[in-house]
A and B are shown apart, each in its own frame.
Chain A
Amino acid sequence: MPTTILAKRRLIPGKTSELVLDAPHIAAKARPGNFLILRVADKGERIPLTIADVDPEKGTVTIVYLVLGKTTAHLETLEAGDAILDVCGPLGAPTHIEKTGTVVCVGGGTGIAAMHHIAKGHHRAGNHVVAVIGARTKDLLLFHDELSAFCPEVLVTTDDGSLGRKGLVTEALRDRLASDQAVSEVVAVGPVPMMRAVAETTRPFGVKTTVSVNSIMVDGIGMCGACRVTVGGKVRFACVDGPEFDGHQVDFGELCARLGAFRDQERLSLEKFHECRCHDHKKA
């Protein structure tokens, strides 16, 4: 049964959007850290997307995507009222959440949306949640208001200094850790280089650091091992054992290399999609 898009919000026009999906069976079960797998249309591929928010009462799940390849480009053409052919979830192990004191949640790019649901979970468990979010410039910053609604501290960094502190999230994080010995955990969600930098920033402080790895997935239910990642020398499947792992143990170099495995085919697929659409426009 196709899943209806109830609302669409363009967060960064043409680049990043938020979709609210009518999926009560997923909303009833989804916990922070879970993701779903979707297939936009017939002939489509399966892609994983983290659940950014849920409303079990309304029966909705919220996802946020960055337009990167063919499937997300196709998704970006859909509007409220349209349907996604296949949506499967909630998948993955939920975030381990307990009341521990102060938790710093770091988000970069679209990862901020994924981090949002985790931060909310920590807030609900009674933790003092510090959000650290960064972007190139202020127009590209996501979920500032949403996080401010429940985080007592939202530390913002931009590369150009247009909002908050000029610089990288890791600089804000380092200063925050240096001034407060009581941080019990740091959670980071974002591009691999960012998560790796966060793990290196927290390592000298000895603070528990959790990252949400974004490996390539096919089924998302532990059937194939496409998403395997080396953690502490052991091979783990991100879709069932993760996607969250100890950031100090993840082999980020390997993860980064494996993410590029299909780069040529991904480019070809996107080019073909744009050609087809260009052709359609000409006809119209």
Chain B
Amino acid sequence: MTTKKPKSAPRTPMPEQPAALRRTNFSEVALGYDLSMAMAEASRCLQCKKPACVQGCPVEVNIKDFVGHLARGDVVAAFQAIKETNSLPAVCGRVCPQENQCEGSCILGKKGQPVAIGRLERFVADEFAARSACEELTGQPECVVTRDELRAACIGSGPSSLTVAGYLASRGVKVTVYEALHELGGVLTYGIPEFRLPKAVVRREIAALTQSGVTFVTNWVGGKTFTIPELFERGDKAVFIGVGAGLPRFLNIPGESLIGVFSANEYLTRVNLGRAYAFPEYDTPIFPGRRVAVLGGGNVAMDAARTALRLGAEEVRLVYRRSKEEMPARAEELHHAIEEGVILECLCGPVAFLGDERGYLTGMTVQRMCLGEPDESGRCRPCPIEGDTALLPCDLAVVAVGTGPNPVLLSATPGLEKNRRGYVVVNEETGETSIENVFAGGDIVTGSATVILAMGAGRRAAKEIARRLLAHA
């Protein structure tokens, strides 16, 4: 007779705003654990001898230890354990696709539900919202003193650069981060909406980096306001390129310049960076859509669709060429979107945008698809069903079909090797580009990926930069 192992307890649920309420506001959907919930969840952890979860984390957070401390209610020790390797825990706890990372590797997931590592990381980081990061880490009100002769620069202030800056600063390197926009954070600020990642959380993580000696410069555009050789002339010993993949792709179909057709980047930048949801208190306007079509099936498409609902759209459709199963968005995001009322229009490819005589969008012609054989990506290829087209009325369309590498910095940097698709080529071990002491990581190397993968790439490059700088110091 075989004895069945008792199934572990289910994970502690996360309180969240009900769908009917949250679709009327931009406040965060997931509300976070309190201490007793966090301790209950942390005590589900088996404290494995060889924890698989740590290998699943691109920035190698010591998950076993931090969860162990938390299970005993020692939040300070848990914070110190996380901060050793992760400079943005409040961000990671919210936006990482943990199901593919740490939680995907958790042994409990084999028989039941994995430990909610992301939620626990978020809880710990949020507990320190009002405290001084330096004091909690070092017991000193002032953090590590950076050494002026050890200087490095990061171009872009998104997750990869922030990781590099945090790592180097904690080892005494004086880091300057240059950002082209007026606000820091890259995609964390202009891309991911407030209801998934409150901007106050991003600002807090950046404030902690400032405290540890990182200098931030806004409104400086790499390739325009300054060039990479000029950074070396000014005394930087290493440069990290973390400029992301911010060039929007369009569909190149007729009518794409009609009023009411937006790239997801423009739509989300207006709302998130410009706070257009609070127009006219804030000056940046947003185009009001009554019937909205969002084209694409990734996380950016989910963010745009859920944003349109919150801006008062009566009807929001996600128009996607393949079926629901192939959507690249996180299951949780898709689930949230459907809960809030987003309508899925799958197996449906846009053919043309239609407009009125004044140039305003009135609808789209779409081609119905069926699924064929799997293509190179392993996903089934969408095939048009001959003659099966339909008219989809809409007054706002958001194109969320991916991005490419922005040419502004790259074209101003001679000698920088790029691949066929225009992304920067790096040594996979060190993150170094074809130019000595110039490193790169994140979406400008891989194309659009995730926050945590960008941070992993930043960490890899930062280790090499620190090794070189400190070897000569």
Interface residues of A (CB under 8 A from B): 1, 25-26, 29, 39, 43-46, 70-71, 85-91, 218-219, 221-226, 228-230, 235, 240, 253-254, 257-258, 260-262, 265-266, 268-269, 272
The answer to whether A222 touches B266 (Cβ under 8 A) is: no
* Interface-located stretch among B18-26, B87-95, B282-290, B323-331: B282-290
* Chain B residues, CB < 8 A from A91: 221, 224
Q: A45-B282, A85-B182 are in contact. List 17 more A-B contacts (CB 8 A).
A: A1-B217, A25-B220, A46-B284, A71-B283, A86-B219, A88-B220, A218-B266, A218-B269, A221-B224, A222-B408, A223-B406, A224-B265, A225-B248, A230-B257, A235-B252, A235-B256, A265-B280
Closest CB in chain A relative to B227 CB, distance in Å: 9
- Residue of B221, B274, B358 near A218 (CB, 8 A) is B274
Contacting residues of chain B (261-282) with chain A, CB-CB under 8 angstroms: 262-263, 265-266, 269-270, 274-275, 279-282
Q: Which residues of B contact A43 (CB under 8 A)?
A: 275, 281-283
User: CB of B180 within 8 A of chain A?
Assistant: yes
- Is B246 part of the contact surface with A, judged by Cβ < 8 Å? yes
| A223 adjacent to B280 (CB under 8 Å) | no
A223–B221 Cα gap in the complex (Å)? 12
Flag if B359 contacts A258 (CB, 8 Å). yes
Residue from A221, A258, A265 within 8 A of B221 (CB atoms)? A221
> Is B221 a contact of A269 with CB atoms below 8 Å?
no
Residues on the A chain within 8 Å of B279, using CB? 265, 269
Kindly report which residue of chain A lies nearest to residue B180, judged by CB atoms.
Answer: A221
Check if B248 sits within 8 Å of A39, measured CB to CB. Answer: no
- Residues from chain B with a CB closer than 8 A to the CB of A44 are 282-283
Q: Which of A29, A219, A222 contacts B269 (CB 8 A)?
A: A219
Question: Chain A's interface: helix, strand, loop or mixed, by majority?
Answer: mixed
A248 vs B87: C-alpha distance in the bound complex, in angstroms? 52
Please give the residue numbers on chain B whose beta carbons come within 8 Å of chain A beta carbons, in ascending order: 180-182, 190, 217-221, 224-226, 246-248, 250, 252, 256-257, 259-260, 262-263, 265-266, 269-270, 274-275, 279-287, 358-359, 406-408
From A29, A230, A258, contact of B225 by CB (8 A): A29
Quick check: A224 and B269 within 8 Å, CB to CB?
Answer: yes
- What are 26 pairs between A and B in contact, CB < 8 Å? A29-B224, A29-B225, A39-B182, A46-B182, A88-B221, A91-B224, A218-B266, A218-B274, A222-B247, A222-B406, A222-B407, A223-B269, A224-B263, A224-B269, A225-B248, A225-B265, A226-B266, A229-B257, A230-B257, A235-B256, A254-B257, A258-B257, A258-B359, A268-B280, A269-B279, A269-B280
Kindly report which residue of chain A lies nearest to residue B279, judged by CB atoms.
Answer: A265
Chain B nearest CB: distance from A40 CB in Å? 9
Contacts of A89 in B (CB 8 A): 221, 224-225
A228:B257 contact, CB within 8 angstroms = yes
Residues of chain A lying within 8 A (CB to CB) of residue B217: 1
Q: Given A261-B287, A269-B285, does the pair A223, B257 have CB atoms closer than 8 Å?
A: no
A45 touches B265 (CB 8 A): no
A221 touches B359 (CB 8 A): no
Interface contact A86-B218, CB-CB below 8 Å: yes
- Interchain CB contact under 8 A, A88 and B219: yes
A43 and B248 CA atoms in complex are apart in Å by 25
Residues of A within 8 A of B283 (CB): 43-45, 70-71, 269
Q: Let me know if A225 and B408 touch, CB within 8 A.
A: no
Alpha-carbon gap, A261 to B407, bound state (A) = 27
